[in-house]
Structure 1
């Protein structure tokens, strides 16, 4: 029985979040949490919280079962809204700055 947790509109680029998602995909949850805890990248904190949320969702569905065999089955990182801003540029022009955000979905399941 699998469990899902979602994080929506987190304000970092999907490319940066995918680096961490690729790192923990397919790992056991305790190893994944240890890797995320010691990773210096700033999206590691919300991703670790999301994995913990998926674990708690799995516990709520499967009361009394052992969670030691849980594996991160799927991690999807999708682009979300983009805030468009202008930055001053030479000769009276303006350069567009695209502040990206992302949606993350984590699915945990037993082996």
Structure 2
């Protein structure tokens, strides 16, 4: 479950400076560290090269939605084994807006994998 969610993060990726792909890499790298106690070795940061390929097909609105999701992730605390379910639920809540991504953006992300 954690691996799938972090893959989704990598696909739909974003922190505060740099382009979307730099922010995506930083956010997923940070999230992997925060989740280490619950799923050690189960996360891979976003590949910035792949991101720069698919992001060209995303609209400004898509990028805004992605930024909101990764700002949410950046605010997450560190996962502890006793609070794993709540932590995963909080992480999942960061992605509720991603259903609004354009089909072009989603298709490009899927093709990059």
The answer, yes or no, to whether TM exceeds 0.5 is no
- Select the structure that is richer in strand: 1
Higher relative contact order by CA 8 Å / sep ≥ 6: 1 or 2?
Answer: 1
TM-score, length basis structure 2: 0.28
Q: Which has the higher helix share?
A: 2
TM-score normalized with structure 1 length: 0.29
